[in-house]
Amino acid sequence: MIRTKFTETFGIEHPILCGGMTGLGTAPLIAAVANAGALGFLTALTQPTPEALAAEIRRTRDLTDRPFGVNLTILPTINPVPYDEYRAAIIESGVTVVETAGSSPEPHLPDFHGAGVRVIHKATSVRHAVSAATKGVDAISIDGFECAGHPGEDDVPGLVLIPAAARALAGFDIPLIASGGIATGEGLVAALALGADAANMGTRFVASAEAPVHENVKQQIVRNTELDTLIVFREFHNSARVARNSISEEIAQISRRAGATFADVAHLASGARGRENVLRDGDMEGGLWWASQAQGVIHDVDTVQNIVDRIVDDAGRTIAARLSGMLVRDPVGA
C-alpha cells in the first residue's frame, strides 16, 4: 500500500483517481473505481438535469459503499447551464468531494465548503493552479500536455509541469494530483517522484470492462500507440487532444485553412455525434473521440479491480525492487 498526502486527506485506499469524463462518468464505472480503492468522479453534465444527477448518485451508492465524487466542469455554453442547481444536487446528495474544471471554481467554493465538500480543481498551467489554490481549493490536479481533452495552450508535458507545480504549491500544503499520459504503476511512481501525491487516469479506465462504451473503442485504445492522437482546435485557441481517425484528421485539415472558424468543423466535432456513433455504436470513424498519449502503454482491456491492483502492485515493485536496487552504498570502511 502506498500512503500519501492525498490518501490521508481524502480517505482513499490508493493514490489513484479516475477523473471526470463526459459521457463515461456514470454509476457502473465510478462504482467499480470506488470498490477498487481508488477515487472516481461521476460527470455532472453527463446528466441532462440536476434531478438526473441526483438519481445517478443514488444509483452509484447502490453499487458501492466507498467514497466517490462528482465532476463539475464550468464552461461558457450556448445554452446556459443551471450550475447552481447542479451544485445544490451534489450537496443535497451528500457527496463529499468534487472535481472542478474549466473556469474558476471560486463562485462555488462557499457553498461547497459550507457543506463540508472538498474541492479538487483541475488546472493546465502552474499559474492557474496557484490561482485556484489561493482561492482555497483543497487539492490541485495538474494536467500535462499528454492528456486527453483540453491541455491548455502552453504545451508543457508532465515531466516539467508536475515538479514546477509542486514547487509553486509547496506553501499551500494541499495534495497535488498528476494528470495526463499516466496509465501504469511505473507512471504512478514517476508522478510521485516528481512531487505529486496521486495520479489521475482517464484513458486507462476507458479500456476497462466496466467503461460504458462500445468494445470497439476499448480494443482501439489497445491497438493504438502513443502516436495515435491529434491536437485539434488549436487555431481557435481551444486546443484538444483526441484520438487520431479520419474525422480528427479532417478537422485538423480544415482548421489550417486561411480564415477557418469553428463553424467550419462544428458538424464534424459534434459531441453528440462522437458519443452516438463512436462510444455507443462502435463506429471508430464515425466521430471525434477523446484519448491521451497513454494509449501507448495500455495493452489490454481488464476489469477496473484488476487494473487498479496491477498498478498498485507494479508501483510497489518499482519502488521496492527496481529503484532501491539502483542505490549504491559505500562499503564499510571505504
Tens-digit pLDDT profile for the chain (334 aa)? 899 999 999 999 999 999 999 999 999 999 999 999 999 999 999 999 999 999 999 999 999 999 999 999 998 777 789 999 999 999 999 999 999 999 999 999 999 999 999 999 999 999 999 999 999 999 999 999 999 999 999 999 999 999 999 999 999 999 999 999 999 999 999 999 999 999 999 999 999 999 999 999 999 999 999 999 999 999 999 999 999 999 999 999 999 999 999 999 999 999 899 999 999 999 999 999 999 999 999 999 999 999 999 999 999 999 998 898 898 877 665 5
What are the two backbone dihedrals, phi and then psi, of residue 308, each rounded to the nearest 5 degrees? -65, -45
Half-sphere exposure in the Cβ direction for 318 (13 Å, CA): 17
Q: Regarding beta strands 229-232 and 176-179, do their DSSP bridges make them parallel or antiparallel, or are they unpaired?
A: unpaired
pLDDT at position 71: 98
With beta carbons less than 8 A apart as the criterion, state whether 224 and 202 touch.
Answer: no
pLDDT at position 79: 79
Strands (E), the chain: 16-18, 39-43, 69-74, 97-102, 118-123, 139-143, 176-179, 198-200, 229-232, 240-243
3-class SS of residue 244: coil
Please enumerate in sequence order all residues whose Cβ is within 8 A of that of 116, keeping only pairs 6 or more positions apart, or say none: 96
Question: Using the 8-state DSSP alphabet, how is residue 319 labeled?
Answer: I
pLDDT at position 76: 73
Distance separating alpha carbons of residues 25 and 242, to the nearest angstrom? 18
